[in-house]
Amino acid sequence: MGDQKDNIDDFKVQTAKHPNMSSVALRTHSEHSKDRTSKRLSTESNGTSDGGMGSSTPVEITALEESFRRFAIHGDTRATGKEMHGKNWSKLCKDCGVIDGKSITLTDVDIVFTKVKKKSCRTITFDEFKVALGELARKKYKEKTGEDAEAEVFKLIEGKAPVIAGVTRAVASPTVSRLTDTSKFTGSHKERFDETGRGKGKAGRVDIVDTSGYVSGYKHRGTYEKKVTKPTDGRPM
C-alpha cells in the first residue's frame, strides 16, 4: 500500500510540473502505420533499407549516373534505367560528342560495347558503362593520362539528355521542282492538267467522245441553239 501511495504522489507531482501533459492527443495506430509506410517508401526510393549500418543515409546519384539513366530509358517504356542497350549506348556517344568521326567512330563505339558487356547479355550496367568510357577516353585523348582522359569524357556526358529529333522539313530541290512543274510536262502527261496546274481528273486520262455534232476547235459552239430558242414575244404568228 505504501508503494502504491508513493507512486500516486509522484504522478501528482509530475502533473503539477507539466499541466499540459494530459491535453496532448495520443496518436492512433493507423497514424503510426502511415509513418512507417512513408519511411519505407522513402528509403526504398533512395536505395536503402531499414536495417544495417548507414541505412538512413540516402544514396547520392552523380551527374554521370543520371545521364546514364536518361539514355538507358530512352525509347523504352519498360526500361528501369539500370541497364543500357547497344542502340542507346551509340546514341549517347553521338549526342554527347564522344564520336568525332576521327579518333572515335561508330565502329569503335560498337567494338567497345561488345568488349565490356557479358557474353550472355545484350546490355551493360553502369559499372561496365564507366569501363567502356575509359576505353574510349584513352583512344580519344592519347596525349593525356588515363584519369585525365576519363575526366574529359565524363564532362562531355554529365548532365546531358537524349536529343529528340524534330519534324523533318521538306528541302527545296531543283530536281524536285522540275519534276513537279506541270507547265513543263509534254505529251500525254500535259493533257492531264489544265493551265493552272490542276488535274483534270478522268477527262485527262480517258478520251471522251464528243457527241455535240461540232467539229473540234469550233469557236461559235452553241450560238445556233441560242438563235433558235430566242424568245418571240410581241411578234405576229
| Domains (range + CATH), the chain | 63-157 (1.10.238.10)
* Whether 161 contacts 176, CB under 8 Å: no
3-class DSSP state for residue 106? helix
Residue 183 grid coordinates: 507547265
Report the pLDDT value the prediction gives residue 235, as an integer from 0 to 100. Answer: 58
Report the pLDDT value the prediction gives residue 232, as an integer from 0 to 100. Answer: 59
Taking the C-alpha atoms of residue 225 and residue 221, their distance in angstroms, rounded to an integer, is: 9
Is the pTM here over 0.85, yes or no? no
Taking the C-alpha atoms of residue 117 and residue 110, their distance in angstroms, rounded to an integer, is: 11
Please list the pLDDT of the chain residue by residue as tens digits (237 residues): 555 555 566 655 555 555 554 444 445 555 555 555 455 444 444 444 444 444 444 456 789 999 999 999 998 888 999 999 999 999 999 999 999 988 999 999 999 999 999 999 999 999 999 999 999 999 999 898 888 999 999 999 999 999 887 655 666 677 777 777 877 788 777 777 887 878 777 777 777 777 777 777 777 777 777 777 766 555 555
Report the pLDDT value the prediction gives residue 233, as an integer from 0 to 100. Answer: 57
Q: Please report how many Cα atoms fall inside a 13 Å half-sphere around the Cα of residue 80, on the Cβ side.
A: 7
User: Residue 123: what are its φ and ψ, rounded to 5°?
Assistant: -130, 170
Report the pLDDT value the prediction gives residue 132, as an integer from 0 to 100. Answer: 94
